Structure 1
Amino acid sequence: MSAPSVPPAVSNPTVPAHEREADWLKNIYRPHEANLTVRAVVVGMLIGAAMCLSNIYVFFKTGWSLGVTLTACILAFGSFQFLQALRIVKKPLGVLENNALTTVASGAGFMTGGGNMAAFGALFMITTVRPDSTAMIVWFGVIAALGVFAAIPIKRQLINHEGLAFPTGTATAETIRSIHDAAAGGGKGKAAWLAGSAGVAAVLTWLRDAWHWIPGTFGLPVSLAGHTLAQWTLSLKAEVVLLGGGALMSFRTGWSLLLGGILTYAVLAPALVAQGIVTTVSYKAIVAWTLWPGAAILVASGLTSFALDYKSIARSFSGLGRIFGRKGAQPAESGIEAVECPEWWFPVGFLVLAPVVTGLMVWLFQIPLWAGLVAVPLAVVMGFVAARVTGETDVTPTKALGPVTQMIYGIITPGNVAGNIMSANVTGGVGLHAADLLTTLKTGWLLGAKPRHQLYAQLFGVMAGAAIVVPAFNIILPDPSVLGGEAWPAPSCVVWAGVSQAFSGGIAALHPSSKTAIVVGLILGVALSLFEKFAPRKLRPLLPSASGLGIAMVIPGSNCIAMFLGSAVAEWMRRKWPAVADKLVVPVASGLIAGESLMGILIAFLIVSGVIAG
């Protein structure tokens, strides 16, 4: 049975909220269909763990954590089709089971986001001390769980009453509908393309990294300022994960990366070497200077975009007033309140989890108790804001919220670099997981799922993600010296470490040219955000992306080239064969990412274990 279409009243924000909720209960809600089954939890945790491994690999290569829900629902459908064909399972995966399974997978797969790996990597880079693994698993798990509970009091306001778009959640609902609809016939095809591309990527990765039959880079016999282009990091990489990541981003971001990479490594870097500011032609030497303007662009653009969305921020706080000021339910709301998560779950969750987070901040990172007590309520408020911005724009503003927290803690706890980084991790983690749960709750709202089951599903997912992400980090990054190098550029870690050092008083020791570059980067970040907001709509696609330019300054030029090629191929397909692109781009790109990243993790484990030579 396919999921019902959404009745007009449910999707129309001009209809009174109680009418929309009543319409949803009558026409969309499916209380008698399976939601969170044991098999959905188990398979969701397995898929989520695999995607968490994939995301950690991609994150330290590119600086991005890629979307989970669309890939997870396709992979879940294909997995159960395969198991049915083998007669291992008899009953097909239901629509709402897939939604619950995808929620579990999303909670696990996104454990790399929200500043988690950026903070962990930055801390490792600066202190070179690896925190206790068990303590870090608890740390990430508790922060994520706090974000899950923070979504409870704002769910009805943002989804039921205001009907915010949550574009990824809406797209996931449509995808689940289509692949479970027998008439559509697209589910098996998408799953097959995903599996096939993953297999190809895994084989190529094994030939490259385990047997060394394929070189990692292909340089051109061209010189620039007395050095080969490859020495300036301008080469072609044999890493299909970069092509897949590029295909999933917008073409504007892709060409902005290429532009930023050329300007950084073919124009700026030779000039820095010629002036003696950079003394060695290597990625680490160049990025030690370029990270400052790159970070400035990212921080300034993030904060400017955040400030320009002042209406959304204002609605966040006015919405909180309506939520917590509500005296009691109206008669028409009594039915929906029996279905939704009780709002008292949030304060109870807060009272249980907040002391754990605060205690870990004091114990692990030597943050003063009073400063830790400030961090948690600040993170929850920021989480409310992040959730609304995500619902309206599909972008969770961790690039803005993290530096805001870093700035605050740079003032109240000067010199505590570790505390500065990890306090921002609390803000980013709570915001991300609140927004992530609300995104999947939007999917469930459109499909008629049980909200309480989705909250349970998200908690299962974050537990699985926390348990897998820390050991995976330790396996692929045994030595802090590899971070920030060409093999593991870790651009977000470099930026977080740089921002933390700057806010903790380290900026005074910078070269005068770096200080000038920071000012230029701040101006450029603000200007690009203003142009994007106020320029004529026709001109906006022609403006470079601030995120693309900023990231290009902290990753190798070869990564910029590869991701541009991926975005260009995907854009070409969308324009020339839109129907084919709709069926192939996401599954093939996701398969390339999953295949290389999972095989890369396996090879790293085999090298650490001594099974194969590095």
Structure 2
Amino acid sequence: MSAPYIQPPVVPEPLHAIPAPAPLPDDPELRWLATVYRRGERQLTVRAVVTGMLLGGVMCLSNLYVVLKTGWSLGVTLTACILAFAIFRGMKATGLAKKDFTVLENNAMGSVASAAGFMTGGGNMAALPALLMLTAVRPSGFSLFIWFAVIAALGVFAAIPVKRQLINREQLPFPTGTATAETLRSLHEASHSKEGAGGEKAKFLGIAAAVGAALTWFRDAKGAFMPFNIPASIPLPFQIAGRAAKDWTLTLKCELVPFAAGALMSFRTGWSLLLGGILTYVFLAPSLLANGQIPEVSYKAIVGWTLWPGAAVLVASGLTGFAFDWKSIARSFSGLSALFRKKKESVDDPMAEVECPDAWFPLGFAVLGPIVVVLMWWLFAIPVWAGVIAVPLAVVMGFVAARVTGETDVTPTKALGPVTQLVYGVATPGNLAGNLMSANVTGGIGLHAADLLTDLKSGFLLGANPRQQFYAQLFGVLAGAAVVVPAFSLLVPDASALGGEDWPAPSAVVWAGVSQAFSDGLGALPPSARNAAIAGALLGIALALAERLAPKRLRAWIPSPSGLGIALVMPGSNAIAMFLGSAVAELTRRLNPKLAERTIVPVSSGFIAGESLMGIAVALLVVLGILAG
């Protein structure tokens, strides 16, 4: 009989025989490529592009309405991403969509929508209205479409040479881009739950939009078939200098746009707006009337004087803050040398498959730059030599704007525009159109370069293909330019529509004032306005210094120079409404932070979208003769 079989003991392999996991690459780009990049995942699909162009166009209309009312252009990316998420989730549930709308598709859609929605920024809807106010010049619709699209596209190309340095290697925070990535990730990770954050936020947004649209219809739609109309404003029960408060623009307006815009800004900016409104219309304006500095009590008469100190506060504080970011500026200029020397890069660069080739930047510059120069000469009588200087200057400013945005989340258009206006005020004195539109070039290129890099930051965190986001941004540029030009013509048929309480256009008023000052010289102003401008500049510098130098615990009590400066050129009713919105949002954040996180952005965005889109629809019906004007 054989001996029983005995299983030999299992001897573990020595530790040195077990292969250790491969160490992660030290190079941040290679590490990203190995651990974050989602190779092969759907991103720039047809449905992402079409949805982004449609939602971006809608957001562009909304932003146009908002900027003409308040002077602010609001971010649209999160709103568009929430809407797209809800739309495709509904389509998947009903069988209209077979595949899930992925997080990278939503990110690409957001790039398209952001470029389209921000077509009102970068000075576009400040320079063009200011041009109309000062010169009555309105280029043809097709010319303006080319103008806005080419400037924005140059900004997109200007982002190429700095992207890898700022995002891949230095990994600057770009706070809005980071927040967008986190929001997209949370939306799509919760997409398989019964409700999910995305679905809830979309419901809040939809209900708020319906409320805003209904309020606007019953307020603005005039006709025999209407059972009633909501009053445009509610008067305040007191007088100032013997005149009703409403004569000094101090009323409670039945509008949700300024209220919601206030909710989306900081409480510090909100109370600064209220402070500026009180100083302007309770104290300054009555004093101006008593001293004969203004001829009558009206918004146009008051702002015709207060724009000088208001513009001075904004420009001086913007330039002072810009100077504080001198390290960012220095790094921007030191990095420019890499663009003018041939880089010795390996042909085996693993990032080459996803990044935009460096050659695209000079190619885009060579193709689009001459178009901008020709348009500057043809449309605005800017000498060719001045246009030739403008484009490279604007691209350099775009590099600076990109880094400052990456480090601070603030695109310094309030500084870049006036710098260009000052340069051209000296170079081409008396040319108001050239002064305004050259600043438009700088602001537009800077904004769209910073906007693309903010979107690319989101993509970097989510593992997206940056080259596809570049294409997405160009689709959005075309959509935004195609929407903003006819919409502006509809809302503003002539210069008389601007600068009143219906369309105060505060940013345009400021740009017009700065252009006049730099073109004609401060000596051309009345002494009182000149002194006020000097005082405003000193105040702007002092507030910007206090923002940077005061202890952190005291900064919340320092008035915001942006809020104070804009309050000097907007109706008091807007300042009141924006303060109320910021106060309600701040109170909600303090009492119930979770409720605030769920509701403030979608509800505010819904109010803005509903009221602005219905307002544009009512304006169109008036033009068609269906409603009374």
TM-aligned CA deviation for residue 327 of structure 1: 2.6
TM-aligned CA deviation for residue 177 of structure 1: 0.4
The residue correspondences of 1:457-468 to structure 2 (distance < 5 A) are: 457-468=472-483
Query: Which has more radius of gyration?
Result: 2
Do 1:157 and 1:323's aligned partners in 2 also have CA atoms closer than 8 Å? no
The CA deviation string for residues 65-112 of structure 1, in whole angstroms up to 9 with x for no partner, is 001111111111011122233332222210000000000000100000
Q: Of 186, 206, 218, which residue of structure 2 is paired with 1:207?
A: 218
Residue aligned with 2:474, SS: helix
| Residue range with higher mean Cα deviation, 321-330 or 148-157 | 321-330
Aligned partner of 1:542 in structure 2 is 557
Aligned partner of 2:350 in structure 1 is 335
2:601 maps to 1:593: no
Aligned partner of 2:184 in structure 1 is 176
Do 1:69 and 1:103's aligned partners in 2 also have CA atoms closer than 8 Å? yes
Aligned partner of 1:515 in structure 2 is 530
Aligned partner of 2:443 in structure 1 is 428
C-alpha distance in structure 2 between counterparts of 1:137 and 1:246, whole Å: 31
2:203 maps to 1:192: yes
TM-aligned CA deviation for residue 16 of structure 1: 12
Aligned partner of 2:328 in structure 1 is 312
Do 1:237 and 1:558's aligned partners in 2 also have CA atoms closer than 8 Å? yes
C-alpha distance in structure 2 between counterparts of 1:18 and 1:438, whole Å: 24
Amino acid at match of 1:37: T
Q: Which runs of 5+ in 2 are unaligned?
A: 1-22, 223-227
Aligned partner of 2:155 in structure 1 is 147
C-alpha distance in structure 2 between counterparts of 1:559 and 1:401, whole Å: 26
TM-aligned CA deviation for residue 510 of structure 1: 2.0
Q: Of 48, 58, 64, which residue of structure 1 is paired with 2:56?
A: 48
C-alpha distance in structure 2 between counterparts of 1:165 and 1:510, whole Å: 43
Return the TM-score normalized by structure 1: 0.96
Amino acid at match of 1:85: A
Amino acid at match of 1:84: K
C-alpha distance in structure 2 between counterparts of 1:151 and 1:174, whole Å: 23
Do 1:17 and 1:160's aligned partners in 2 also have CA atoms closer than 8 Å? no
Figure out how many residues of one structure are paired with residues of the other and give that number.
599
C-alpha distance in structure 1 between counterparts of 2:452 and 2:343, whole Å: 26
The residue correspondences of 1:157-168 to structure 2 (distance < 5 A) are: 157-168=165-176
2:517 maps to 1:498: no
Amino acid at match of 1:157: Q
2:267 maps to 1:251: yes
Aligned partner of 1:37 in structure 2 is 45
Do 2:62 and 2:613's aligned partners in 1 also have CA atoms closer than 8 Å? yes
Q: Of 491, 496, 499, which residue of structure 2 is paired with 1:476?
A: 491
Residue aligned with 2:27, SS: helix
Q: Which runs of 5+ in 1 are unaligned?
A: 1-14
| C-alpha RMSD over aligned residues | 1.4
Q: Of 98, 102, 116, which residue of structure 1 is paired with 2:110?
A: 102
Residue aligned with 1:230, SS: helix
TM-aligned CA deviation for residue 166 of structure 1: 0.5
2:579 maps to 1:571: no
Amino acid at match of 1:563: M
Q: Percent identity?
A: 66
The residue correspondences of 1:524-563 to structure 2 (distance < 5 A) are: 524-563=539-578
C-alpha distance in structure 2 between counterparts of 1:511 and 1:589, whole Å: 42
Do 2:269 and 2:559's aligned partners in 1 also have CA atoms closer than 8 Å? yes
Do 2:52 and 2:113's aligned partners in 1 also have CA atoms closer than 8 Å? yes
C-alpha distance in structure 2 between counterparts of 1:315 and 1:421, whole Å: 29
| Residue range with higher mean Cα deviation, 312-321 or 180-189 | 180-189
Aligned partner of 1:5 in structure 2 is none
The CA deviation string for residues 538-592 of structure 1, in whole angstroms up to 9 with x for no partner, is 1111100000000000000000000000000001111110011001000000000
Q: Of 363, 372, 384, which residue of structure 2 is paired with 1:348?
A: 363
Aligned partner of 2:91 in structure 1 is 83
TM-aligned CA deviation for residue 52 of structure 1: 0.2
Residue aligned with 1:218, SS: strand
Do 1:379 and 1:430's aligned partners in 2 also have CA atoms closer than 8 Å? yes
Do 1:316 and 1:385's aligned partners in 2 also have CA atoms closer than 8 Å? yes
Do 2:24 and 2:31's aligned partners in 1 also have CA atoms closer than 8 Å? no
C-alpha distance in structure 2 between counterparts of 1:453 and 1:18, whole Å: 26
C-alpha distance in structure 2 between counterparts of 1:87 and 1:571, whole Å: 41
Do 1:154 and 1:323's aligned partners in 2 also have CA atoms closer than 8 Å? no
The CA deviation string for residues 21-77 of structure 1, in whole angstroms up to 9 with x for no partner, is 111111110121101000000010000000000000000000000011111111110
TM-aligned CA deviation for residue 19 of structure 1: 1.7
TM-aligned CA deviation for residue 290 of structure 1: 0.3
| Residue range with higher mean Cα deviation, 497-506 or 49-58 | 497-506
Residue aligned with 1:231, SS: helix
